[in-house]
Amino acid sequence: MIGVLAESSEYAVVREFFELFKTQWEFYRDDRQYEVVLSTGDVPINVSAKLLLVYGGRPLSFDIQSETGASDQRDSGRILNYRKLRIPIYGDSVTFPGTNSDLLVDENSGEAVAYLHARDGKPAVRIGYDLLREVAILLTAGQPPENADIPSLDLHVVLLRDLIIASGVTLMEIPPVPEGYRFIACLTHDVDHPSIRKHRLDHTILGFLYRATLGSLLKAVRRRVTIRQMWANWGAALKLPFVYLGLAEDFWERFDCYPALERVRSSFFFIPVKGYPGRSGAGLAPNLRASGYSAAEIAGQIQTLKLAGCEIGLHGIDAWLDSSKGSEELEEIRRITGTRGIGVRMHWLYFNEQSPVTLERAGADYDSTIGYNQTIGYRAGTTQVYKPLEVIRLLELPLHIMDTALFYPTHLDLSPKEARKRVGNIIDNAVQLGGCVTINWHDRSIAPERGWGGFYVELVEELRARGAWFATGAEAVAWFRKRRSAAFEEISCESHVLNGGFTEDAGNSLPELQVRFHNATNMRDQSRVDAIWQTSLSAH
């Protein structure tokens, strides 16, 4: 059992952190004995545990008691190295130059940011940043794009878990991994342009003509597309007048081909209103944001997708900013589909820190907007579905990979080979950490002039080969709700055998939860334990 010492203002952060690190814990009580006590500030003198973990981004009385000085205090902007892992710190942090510990060090200076100390003959670890502050920053403001490739929040869990196990404490955990799989994969599609006929000589068509002709030539020269793809794009541009005359197939009207390509159920987000750009934080959004269709106009195709088992969600316009507008937008999707629980992803990923509360009031079941337009990775620092701190029930399914971020010249502008490497890193992290890889492949990305269908099929097959459970957004969120509902029963240790278990809500067809037992003798890498605990207790 972990006893957590925290201020009452931090309780919501503590609760959410221990939904991500699903292990046995409670807020510290004076009348209980704990194997581990985790504190985010000065520790009362009477606190005792097999392991004491003291987090704090400023000098503490603990540092005076241990005769270790804290220095180089910073308000933000530090990268820490932990066993070849890079962990960004966004809040206050300090270093401890008087120690010789290399457990956790500043990437630039090499100074220690953690040290081991004997307190009343028992190990205590001082970590020079505020864990709960870091969690709060990641779940609200999120990470800047330059750190997008780092699952920072999940690495805070890794460090904490390792410290506990290395001390000899046996830990029971429900990992974010469905039984029988290695991670979750959500294939999602924002439907922005379901028909090229719905556009006349507007910015969408002008952009298409440029990218299909001169743009394709330039990409072919730079080996971003093949010569065959370039010819296909030129052919599509030449075919455009015949599409308008009804003499040729509308080659953007292909989003309903996705189920056959994927061979699994996926999620589609549809725009509720035509010709309205919505609002930005400063007034009307740019006219470019307005859609050339409404969900009602393609209700037949939506029903076909629903019959194929796909999820239908809302690609919201004003729902992120106005709960009454959000209710109207959600109700339009409900009217078309007959489904009550509707998930949301905002068009152009519009969002602010108040959006979770606004969407919850509007009646959304979950949101999947938190991601990047210009890059791929972990805006909230995690692979997991989480609950934003201000809401009661709404969950966030973070977005990790988006096609336009990978290939647009104004974004990452990657070649297929480069894109495979970047995406491969995210899949590798999911295999190691669990959680979910959420992908957004737009409706027309398998059509000319984008032609990203071949890459997408390879990506889906890679996810399948790596052991993913393919879930719709709603299914992934439901599985994490199931995990969150699990409650630990009383745990006791007798003769080195751990007794106890957990209870969970039953009655659904989702994959089962797993239970993992961690201790220093069954860690996969024993050298990792030795390295963590190699500092002599007598050194301080």
User: Tell me: the pLDDT tens digits for 331-387?
Assistant: 999 999 999 999 999 999 999 999 999 999 999 999 999 999 999 999 999 999 999
Q: Are strands 122-127 and 114-119 parallel, antiparallel or unpaired?
A: antiparallel
Sequence letter at residue 392: I
213, 229, 251 - which closes a domain: 251
433 inside domain: yes
- Do 266 and 326 fall into the same domain? yes
- Do 78 and 210 fall into the same domain? no
204, 224, 251 - which closes a domain: 251
User: Tell me: the pLDDT tens digits for 275-293?
Assistant: 999 999 889 999 999 999 9
What's the mean pLDDT in 183-200? 92
- Cα separation, 205 vs 250, in Å, equals 13
Q: What are phi and psi of 177, to 5 degrees?
A: -135, 120
Give the list of residues 6+ apart from residue 172 with CB closer than 8 angstroms, or none: 23, 24, 488, 491, 498, 500, 515, 516, 517, 518
Task: Quickly state the pLDDT bin for 531 (edges 50, 70, 90).
Answer: low
CA distances to 145, 164, 228 from 158, rounded to whole Å, are 22, 10, 46
495 inside domain: no
pLDDT(521) > 60: no
pLDDT attached to residue 524: 46
Q: Which of 49-58, 149-158, 184-193, 517-526 has the lowest mean pLDDT?
A: 517-526
- Do 211 and 308 fall into the same domain? no
- Do 21 and 102 fall into the same domain? yes
Give the list of residues 6+ apart from residue 63 with CB closer than 8 angstroms, or none: 69, 70, 96, 126
Q: What is the CATH number of the domain that holds 35?
A: 3.40.50.880
Q: How many CB atoms lie within 10 A of CB 33?
A: 11
- Do 263 and 241 fall into the same domain? no
Q: How many domains, in total, are found in the chain? A: 3
- Do 54 and 155 fall into the same domain? yes
Task: Quickly state the pLDDT bin for 499 (edges 50, 70, 90).
Answer: very low
pLDDT(533) > 60: no
489 inside domain: no
What's the mean pLDDT in 114-133? 87
What's the mean pLDDT in 251-261? 87
pLDDT(494) > 60: no
Which residue(s) pair with 116 in the sheet?
A: 125
- Cα separation, 472 vs 291, in Å, equals 24
Task: Quickly state the pLDDT bin for 68 (edges 50, 70, 90).
Answer: confident
pLDDT(534) > 80: no
- Do 276 and 227 fall into the same domain? no
243 inside domain: yes
- Do 200 and 329 fall into the same domain? no
pLDDT attached to residue 294: 96
What's the mean pLDDT in 209-228? 87
Does a cis peptide bond (omega within 30 degrees of 0) precede residue 449?
Answer: yes
pLDDT attached to residue 496: 37
CB 261 within 8 A of CB 453: yes
Q: Which of left, alpha, beta for 274 (phi over 0: left; psi -120 to 50: alpha)? A: beta
Task: Quickly state the pLDDT bin for 535 (edges 50, 70, 90).
Answer: very low
Output the six-digit token pair for 411: 């974004």
- Do 357 and 274 fall into the same domain? yes
Task: Quickly state the pLDDT bin for 458 (edges 50, 70, 90).
Answer: very high
- Highest mean pLDDT among 180-184, 233-237, 534-538 belongs to 180-184
Q: What is the CATH number of the domain that holds 368?
A: 3.20.20.370
- Do 247 and 317 fall into the same domain? no
Task: Quickly state the pLDDT bin for 149 (edges 50, 70, 90).
Answer: very high
35 inside domain: yes
Task: Quickly state the pLDDT bin for 59 (edges 50, 70, 90).
Answer: confident
Give the residue among 285, 297, 283, 337 at the shortest CA–CA distance from 314: 337
- Do 330 and 454 fall into the same domain? yes
- Find tokens 């003499």 and name the residue: 247
pLDDT(295) > 90: yes
pTM listed for this prediction: 0.91
What's the mean pLDDT in 407-425? 95
- Do 216 and 261 fall into the same domain? no
504 inside domain: no
pLDDT attached to residue 490: 58
Q: What are phi and psi of 137, to 5 degrees?
A: -60, -45
228, 251, 274 - which closes a domain: 251
Output the six-digit token pair for 497: 């055998």
- Cα separation, 443 vs 362, in Å, equals 26
pLDDT attached to residue 369: 98
363 inside domain: yes
- Highest mean pLDDT among 16-20, 83-87, 220-224 belongs to 16-20
Percent share of the chain, pLDDT over 90: 66
- Cα separation, 442 vs 451, in Å, equals 11
Give the residue among 377, 346, 427, 353 at the shortest CA–CA distance from 145: 377
Give the structural domain span for 50.
2-174+515-539
- Find tokens 């194929």 and name the residue: 308
Give the residue among 275, 278, 338, 277 at the shortest CA–CA distance from 312: 338
510 inside domain: no
pLDDT attached to residue 523: 44
pLDDT(403) > 50: yes
The more confidently predicted of residues 101 and 20 is: 20
Q: Is 230 helix (H, G, I), strand (E, B) or coil?
A: helix
Q: What is the full DSSP assignment across 61-74? A: HHHHHTT---EEEE
